[in-house]
Amino acid sequence: MPIKVLVVDDSATVRQLISKMLSTDPEIQVVGTAQDPYVARDKIVELNPDVLTLDIEMPRMDGITFLKILMEQHPMPVIIISSLTQAGSVVAMEALHVGAVEVIAKPGSAFSIGNIGPQLIDKVKAAAMARRIERRPRTLPPISASPTTAGSVSAASVRPSVLKPAVTKPPLTKRFHNKATLLLGASTGGTEALRDVLTNLPADIPPTFIVQHIPEHFSKAFADRLNQICPFKVKEAQEGDIGLPGFAFVAPGDFHMALVWTGEHYKVALKKGPQVWHQRPAVDVMFDSAVAAGAAPFATCAVLTGMGRDGADGLLKLRQNGAHTFAQDEASSIVYGMPRVCAEIGAAERIVSLREMPLALQGTYMRHVVA
C-alpha cells in the first residue's frame, strides 16, 4: 500500500509542485491538497491520509494553531515546510515541539520550493514510520478561529513558549579527563528526544557534541532553544570551537562536524564533503572523527530515534575502541531505525529507554571525573 499524503499550502503553485515531486515515487500517493486548515480538516476526515505536509504561513489560520488542534484531536505524522528566514526557523522549532515529526526548508520564496524533491520523499517515508498516539475515530470537530489565532504566524507570536528566560548556568565543580566527551546522534523525532535527554543532565557535563539531522539555518534555532532550557551552554558549532566542559555543540545544518584532538582539547572542524547515508551533517562522520582523535576510551556515546542507519557503523567502531555506547529502545523511539541497526550489529553496549538515557549517560561519563 502506498503512503497516502495530503498537501496543505496556501499557494496553488506550491501544492502542484509538491504533489508532482512526491508522485515521482511509486511508494507515495498524493490523495489530495488543501489551501488552508479548514479545507484540510474536511479532507483529513474524508481521505484519512498517512502523512500531512503543512505550510506554516497561511491565511485564516496559521499552521502552528492548526497543528496544535490536529495533535489534540487527530494525531498523525506531520511534516512542516517552512521558510529559511529567522522567523521561519523559530516557528519550525515550535512546530516540532508541538508534535510535527519532521521539518524541511523551503529554500525559495513563499511560492517556490526549489529542489527539495529527494529530501521531501525521504522525510515522507520517515514520517510514515513514525510512532504516534493511537488515532481516535475519524472525526474532527469544526475549526473555530479567533482573532488571536487566525492569520499568519510570526516568530514573535511563538517565542514566549519556545524561548523561556535563560536558565542560570551554575559554575562547574567537576574536572574531567581532558579527552572525556559525550557524543549524541539523532534524526526523526530527535529534536524532542535530545531536549528530554539534555535538560535532564546536570551543568557539569564533559564537552558534548551533537549531530541532529536538521536543515541549514534551523540548527541555530534548535541550539538557541536548547541553550534557553539546559543548565549548561549550548551553541551551534563553528569552525575552530574549543570543546570545553559545560558546553554542548550542535552540528550546523548542511555541514559535517568532526572532532580534532589538539593535544590539550578537542576542536571542531566543519566541512561540506559528500553526504553520508543521504545526510549532512552525518552522525557517522562525527563518530569516525572521534575514533581518529583517540576519544573512544573516554567517550560516552548514544544514538537516538531516527530513520536509516546513520551512526551505527561509527558507534560500533567507538565500542570496539573502548567507548561506552547506548541506543534508544524501540518503545520510546519515534522511528526505530538508527537505534535498531545499532542493536542488530552489536554497536550498542546497552539499549535503554529515553527516560533512562540521561541517568545512563551521566553514570558513564562521570567515571572520567579526575577531581
Beta-carbon contacts of 62 under 8 Å, excluding residues fewer than 6 positions away, are 56, 149, 150, 151, 152, 153
Beta-carbon contacts of 141 under 8 Å, excluding residues fewer than 6 positions away, are 73
Q: Considering Cα of 7, then 11, then 17, then 20, what sign does the dihedral take?
A: positive
The reply to whether 310 belongs to the active site is yes
Catalytic residue among 62, 83, 89, 213: 213
CB atoms within 10 A of CB 131: 15
DSSP string, 163-216: SPSPPP-PPP---B-TT-EEEEEE-TTHHHHHHHHHTTS-S----EEEEE---T
Q: Considering Cα of 182, then 236, then 347, then 353, what sign does the dihedral take?
A: positive
What does the alpha-carbon distance between residue 231 and residue 100 come to, in Å, rounded to a whole number? 26
Question: Would you state the cell numbers that stand for residue 246, as one nine-digit string?
Answer: 559545560
Catalytic residue among 187, 219, 289, 332: 187
Task: Determine which helix (DSSP H) or strand (DSSP E) holds 339, and give its type and residue range.
Answer: helix 338-344
CB atoms within 10 A of CB 25: 17
Catalytic residue among 310, 313, 329, 333: 310
Beta-carbon contacts of 343 under 8 Å, excluding residues fewer than 6 positions away, are 327, 351
- State which amino acid sits at residue 320: Q
Q: Catalytic residue numbers?
A: 187, 213, 310
